[in-house]
């Protein structure tokens, strides 16, 4: 198989002589998945310094890193915000069940571990339609509610279907904490607003949505990612402005400190840079008017 080499970078995932790409290793696909082209979920795993990626993912990830070194900071703060949001929803808001809509490959600080560290009875449903993620989830979650976990084979492309499937493992009459950490980046504005509206409309009073999204304050790395990966890599993320991220919380009651860069959202001691990062986030609470009592 051949492909068009990027003249500026020399990077081409389809050519065996591309820098850093081990074609023989890529062909040793023991899982049945296509590993001849990068997968964004695996590339994020590489940026997060995980181990569940292939040479082609590392090749692409290193190319973007060369142009935009802070993508590694972004990957770190995605996971850091996820952990903080879980502690807020379970510990402060008292929510005992979580829905992870869009799942990362196993890395560190997994949602169920953090949630059950706060509340040993907390339950977590992981939802994704990506077969790669599904395979990893099945390997980790080999029985319903093992370690308080379940798996839902559905994604945000069909938010109504996602909530129907979630209702089979979660009690939607009780508050649910939804994590949208990596799943909105690939949706356009209309699709993202629709997905959030469907999820928020199906959740009861007191539920929360945690949203984390790439922003384009510097932009060069995301522009490079799009230019090199367009037409080759499905699910490429795109940036929104900070105002665009705030707009995703329309109709929700923001939890302090509101919408902010992930490095500044309830910061904790960390060896990573504390300045603004191209990743904005927040937690919004579903607040519905309580029905008035009838007159006697």
Give average pLDDT by consecutive 10-residue segment, the chain, 296 residues.
40 42 38 70 89 88 85 92 97 97 83 92 91 71 66 92 95 97 87 94 96 75 61 72 92 96 89 80 87 50
CA dihedral 148, 95, 247, 242 (to 10 degrees): -70
Pairing of the two strands 208-214 and 177-180: parallel
Instruction: Write the DSSP symbol of residue 254.
Output: E
Closest C-alpha to 244, from 181, 158, 184: 184
Cα separation of 195 and 200, whole Å? 8
pLDDT of residue 1: 33
pLDDT given at position 226: 63
Give kind and range of the element (H or E) at residue 24: helix 23-27
Contact 129/240 with Cβ under 8 angstroms? no
Query: What pLDDT was estimated at residue 165?
Result: 95
Q: Whose structure tokens read 């504390």?
A: 274
Q: In the chain, where are the structural domains located? A: 77-216+236-285
Please report the pLDDT score of residue 223 as a whole number: 64
pLDDT tens digits for range 111-161: 998 999 999 999 999 999 887 777 776 676 555 556 678 888 999 999 999
77-216+236-285 — its CATH code?
3.40.50.150
194-217 per-position pLDDT tens digit:
999 999 999 999 999 999 998 875
Which residues share a beta bridge with 209?
178, 284
Torsion sign, CA atoms 25, 29, 30, 33: positive
Closest C-alpha among 182, 156, 154, 157 to residue 169: 154
User: What is the Cα 125 distance to its own chain's centre?
Assistant: 14
Burial of residue 243, with CB atoms counted within 10 A of its CB: 0-12 exposed, 13-18 middle, 19 or more buried: exposed
As separate numbers, helices (DSSP H) first and strands (DSSP E) second, the chain gives 10, 8
Instruction: Look at residues 257, 55, 43, 40 and name the one whose alpha carbon lies nearest to residue 128.
Output: 40
Please tell me whether residue 289 adopts helix, strand or coil conformation: coil
Q: pTM here?
A: 0.83
Q: Tell how far CA 24 is from the center of its chain.
A: 31
């Amino acid at each position: 198989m051949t492909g068009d080499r990027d003249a500026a970078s020399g990077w081409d995932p389809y050519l065996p002589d591309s820098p850093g790409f081990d074609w023989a290793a890529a062909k040793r696909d023991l899982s049945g998945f296509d590993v001849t082209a990068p997968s964004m979920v695996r590339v994020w795993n590489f940026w997060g310094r995980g181990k569940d990626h292939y040479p082609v993912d590392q090749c692409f990830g290193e190319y973007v890193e060369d142009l935009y070194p802070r993508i590694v900071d972004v990957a770190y703060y995605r996971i850091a915000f996820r952990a903080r949001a879980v502690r807020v929803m379970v510990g402060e808001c008292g929510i005992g069940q979580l829905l992870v809509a869009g799942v990362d490959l196993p890395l560190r600080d997994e949602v169920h571990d953090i949630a059950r560290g706060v509340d040993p009875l907390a339950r977590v449903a992981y939802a994704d339609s990506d077969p790669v993620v599904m395979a990893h989830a099945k390997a980790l979650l080999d029985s319903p509610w093992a370690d308080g976990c379940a798996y839902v084979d559905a994604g945000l492309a069909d938010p109504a279907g996602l909530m129907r499937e979630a209702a089979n493992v979660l009690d939607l009459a009780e508050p649910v904490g939804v994590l949208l950490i990596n799943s909105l980046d690939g949706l356009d504005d209309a699709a993202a607003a629709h997905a959030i509206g469907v999820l928020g409309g199906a959740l009861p009073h007191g539920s929360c949505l945690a949203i984390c999204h790439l922003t384009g304050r510097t932009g060069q790395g995301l522009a490079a990612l799009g230019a090199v990966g367009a037409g080759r890599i499905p699910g490429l993320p795109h940036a929104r402005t900070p105002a665009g991220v705030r707009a995703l919380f329309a109709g929700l009651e923001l939890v302090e400190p509101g919408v902010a860069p992930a490095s500044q959202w309830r910061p904790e001691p960390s060896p990573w840079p504390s300045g603004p990062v191209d990743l904005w986030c927040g937690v919004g609470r579903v607040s519905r008017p309580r029905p008035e009592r009838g007159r006697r």
